[in-house]
Amino acid sequence: MLLVYPNSLKNEGERKKVNKSEIENRIEQLKKERNAVIIAHNYQIGEVQDVADFLGDSLQLSQEAAKLEEEVIVFCGVHFMAETAAILSPDKTILMPDIDAGCPMADMITASELRDWKKQYPGRKVVCYVNTSAEVKAECDICCTSSNAVQVVKAVEGNEILFVPDKNLAAYVARFTKKKIIPWDGYCYVHNNIRLRHVREKKEQFPEAEVWVHPECRPEVIDMADKVLSTGKMIKEAKITTKADILIGTESGIIYRMKKENPDKNFHPIKELTHCSNMKKINVRKALASLEDMKYKVDVPQEISQRAKGAIERMVRL
């Protein structure tokens, strides 16, 4: 199809009149003009996944962002993810199609709250989940993601570790170490809302199905799981498994990708409408507007970026 999207369509009202394939064509053209790529988290809506050059979990996306040669990265995910990319790739322009797409769990701890908390536990190392702001990362010894949290905690010096902000991930990690993990009282509302009764109900409906959940889920939900996996590991496992039915305990956006890549298998959400409203703020029109107007730029002040980078790099080096 020929490109019919005129350059002059600069405002959102005009863009709304343009159909999806025209938007996709315009995005392709702008990516070339701007030397840009689109990367998207596994929870993004289908239409965003379809225009992305790279899809992945939080860790994969930041690592990919650092490797890319293009100058501009349109980051379709939540704010802490784009910030991590900006920290690891300070010479690139990192854009977010919706600057208000934050992570409520990351907002459950501020740098000043963490500084006060640390004073109560002198000498303890602090592990921060990647779902934290750059300011919080700057106060921590080492970062972790859902795919390497156990490995990171085991590697950290000391028998007592402070862990921020996810108490559910902290409880999951505690299953694999003798170290005492002192958690911050944060959680992801999306995963915390997946309850034991949802797993039981779905298991009744699909008795042969395997249960895969994200480590941000409640401990009693994790107890019911056959596999506890980051979103990136779920995607890999979906290709390998010989099971026909899998019950998924994480944000439902991932099911779009799983079905697309594995049309012969059935992926059922453990709880219907498990949606992260922030992940859903981005759509193709906003991705187009982001490229069109080079907005919204994510910058991390250098002093914070350097300290936060230390915590991220210590994780990457493991």
Positions touching ligand 13P (CB under 6 A) are: 42, 57-58, 131, 145-146, 188, 214, 216, 230-231
Tokens of 112: 């000043």
Instruction: Count CB neighbours of 20 within 10 A.
Output: 12
Q: Which residue has the tokens 């570790």?
A: 161
Strand order in the sheet with 266-269: 227-228, 210-213, 245-249, 266-269
- Give CA angle at 21 (6, 102), nearest 5°: 90
Site for ligand SF4 (CB under 6 A): which residue of 44, 132, 278, 290? 278
Whose Cβ is closer to ligand SF4: residue 282's or residue 289's?
282
Q: Which stretch binds ligand SF4 (CB under 6 A): 199-207, 230-238, 263-271, 276-284?
A: 276-284
Phi, psi of 119 (to 5 degrees): -65, -30
Site pattern 228..257 for ligand SF4 (x: CB under 6 A): -----------------------x------
- Distance CA(209)–CA(194), nearest Å, equals 17
Report if residue 190 touches ligand SF4, rule: CB under 6 A. yes
Whose Cβ is closer to ligand SF4: residue 98's or residue 216's?
216
Whose Cβ is closer to ligand SF4: residue 15's or residue 79's?
79
In the list ligand 13P, ligand SF4, none, the entry touching 15 (Cβ below 5 to 8 angstroms by class) is none
Tokens of 36: 């840009």
Is the CB of residue 253 less than 8 Å from the CB of residue 233?
no
Report if residue 103 touches ligand SF4, rule: CB under 6 A. yes
Min dist. Cβ of residue 25 to ligand SF4 (A) = 30
Nearest alpha carbon to residue 127 among 165, 177, 159: 165
Binding positions for ligand SF4, rule: CB under 6 A? 78, 103-105, 131, 188, 190, 216, 251, 276, 278-279
